[in-house]
Structure 1
Amino acid sequence: MPLKLQTIIASTRPGRIGPAVGRWFHSVAQAQGRFECSLVDLADFALPVYDEPQHPSRQDYKHEHTKAWSRSVAAADAYVFVTPEYNYSPPPSLVNALDYLYVEWNYKPCAFVSYGGVSGGLRSAQAARLMVSTLKMMPLPEGVMIQMPWQQLDEDKQFRAGPPHEASAMTLLPELAKWAQALKAMR
C-alpha cells in the first residue's frame, strides 16, 4: 500500500496565499511519486474554536465537523502543513485544527512549508513543531521557507517557486517518506 500524504493548507482567512503555495507543493509531491497525495484545505472543514465536550484523546466526538476532520486526518500517514506566520506564531486555524484531535495524529511525521515576510514563516514553523511533538508526531527539521510569496504569484495567482523552494521540497519529501514508513510500524 502506498504511503498517504496530506498537504494541509493552514490559513483560512479571505485573500490568503496558502492555496497557491499548497497547490505548488502538492504538485511537487505528486511528481516525486513517493506518496499517494491529497490536498486538504482547513477552510473546507469550517472548524469552530474547539467545541467538543470530551478531551480529543477519548475520540468521543459529538459534532459532524469533528468527525469529518477526524476521518480526513486518520486517512494519512504523513502531513505537510502549509502555514503563514502570524505574530511569530502559526495561525489560530492551525492551532485549533491540531487541538481538535489526538490519536489520529499519533506516530506520524510532518513537515512545514512556511511563508511570510523576511523570516519566511520560520518562527511559525518552529512554534508549530513544539505543538505537534505533544501530539506524538515527528516534526522533521527539513522544510520549505518562502519569503514574500506574494511577489512570486503570476497573473493567474499561481505560485512560481524559485530554485531554493524546489530544492528544499526535493530534500524534504524523501525524508518524510522514510519517517512515514518507519513510524507506520508503531501504529
Structure 2
Amino acid sequence: MASVRPERFAPVVADWFLRTLRAHGEFDTGVIDLIDTPLPADLTETPAAADFRARLAAADAFAVVTSEYNHGYPAALKTAFDTAKHEWRAKPIGFVSYGGLSGGLRAVEQLRQVVAEIHMVSIRETISFHQAKKRFDAAGETQDGAAIDAAERMLRQLAWWARTLRAARATDPYPG
C-alpha cells in the first residue's frame, strides 16, 4: 500500500483487492503497508530497510495499490523502489490504482517506467478506480464491473508471470 497520508482511502481499496486476491487461490499473500514501514528517504541502511528487502527477496510477485497525487505516484513508493535493487529483479508487478477522474492511471504510467528500470515485468492489465470514493459502499465492496473484470485478468497474468519467472530464476539466474 503506497499512500502514507493521514485519512487515506488506500485501506478501502487494498482490503477489497486482498479479498479478491485471496479468493483467486493461487497466491500466498503478504502485505507491506508503507505507512508502517519506516524506510529512510535518504536511503541509508537501517534494520527496517534490511527487513523490507528480505521480504521482497522472498516474494515471487508484487501488486501495488497506489493513489495519484498531483498527476504522480506517492513519494513513499519511490523510496520503497529505491531502497532495494536486486530483490525486485525478474519479478512481475501489477497495479491497482485509484483517484479522481484519472483513477490513478497517470501514476501507473509513470510507475511502469520506474519498474522497467529496476528490471521488473509490468503486468499490462491494471485495476483502476475512477472517482474511487464513489465506487465503494460502506462495507468496502464495489460494483465497478470494469475493475472487477480487470482484477480477474490481472491476477491470471500475474500468476502466470510469477510461476514462469520463478522457474526461470531457479534454472537460470537473472543476469542483471
Q: Give me the TM-score of the superposition, normalised by structure 2.
A: 0.91
Mapped to 2, the partners of 1:98 and 1:39 lie a distance apart of: 15
Report Cα offsets for 1:135-185 as digits up to 9, x if no partner: 1100111110101111234335x2534221111100100101111111113
Q: 2:150 maps to what in 1? A: 168
Q: What is residue 88 of structure 1 aligned with on the other side?
A: 71
1:154 is matched with 137
SS in 2 for 1:77: coil
Deviation at 1:88, TM superposition (A): 1.5
Give structure 1 stretches of 5+ with no counterpart: 1-8, 53-61
- Aligned-pair identity in percent equals 36
**Equivalent residue for 1:122?**
105
Distance in 2 between the 1:78 and 1:40 partners?
13
**Structure-2 separation of matches of 1:27 and 1:37:** 10
- Aligned mates of 1:161, 1:149 — CA distance in 2: 12
Residue 21 of structure 1 and its aligned partner are, at CA, apart by 0.5
Aligned length: 169
Instruction: State the alpha-carbon separation in 1 of the partners of residues 97 and 116 from structure 2.
Output: 18
Distance 1:69 1:154 in 2: 33
* More helix, by proportion: 2
Q: Root-mean-square deviation (CA), in Å?
A: 1.3
For structure 2, the residue ranges without an aligned partner over 5 or more in a row are 170-176
